[in-house]
Amino acid sequence: MAETTEERPAAAGGPGRALVAVYGVFALAAGARAVVQLSTRFAEAPVAYLLSALAAAVYVVATVALARGGRRTALVAISVELVGVLVVGTLSLLEPAAFPDETVWSTYGRGYLFIPLVLPVLGLLFLRRTAHAPSR
């Protein structure tokens, strides 16, 4: 589809906004979940809850980097996210005992409609597609 609105770099405007919006929702969701888990029952499943916190931090970094047009930061954050969801998703299937409570990335993000699995792929595609635009 021909785009006519892309005059600003990276995700500062246009379709990138939609991506940033979804990332924002996930930063919020994962962050809130991590805070609740860590503050109310850290001892029950420290690994899972620390992973939740890590996931939340990654989402926050990715959101800010995409919104501000920090391409390199966004690339690193989104890559970490993709690796995270694949590794944690696989581990949670192979070794369920290690993950007594859900994290955002458990079973490839099933609790979140698999959006955590799709989102980094979309993010990387988006970064690639806008790679020719001048970066800030």
Partner 1 sequence: MTPVLVVAVTVTAVLLALAGVASTLARRRIGLLHLGGAALLEALLLVQAVLAVVLLARGERPADTPTFLGYLAGIVLLPVAGVLWARTEPTRWAGTVLAVAAGAVGVMVWRLQQLWEATGG
How far is 46 from 23, CA to CA, in rounded Å?
25
> Site residues (CB under 8 A) for partner 1?
5, 13-15, 17-18, 21-22, 25, 28-29, 32-33, 35-36, 39-40, 113
Q: Which is nearer to partner 1, 8 or 86 (CB)?
A: 8
What is the smallest separation between the CB atom of 127 and partner 1, expressed in angstroms? 17
What is the smallest separation between the CB atom of 5 and partner 1, expressed in angstroms? 5
What is the smallest separation between the CB atom of 109 and partner 1, expressed in angstroms? 13
Q: What is the DSSP secondary-structure string of 36-91? A: HHHHHHGGG-HHHHHHHHHHHHHHHHHHHHHHHT-HHHHHHHHHHHHHHHHHHHHH
Q: Which is nearer to partner 1, 50 or 115 (CB)?
A: 115
Residue with tokens 């939740």: 52
What's the token pair of residue 14?
Answer: 């246009």
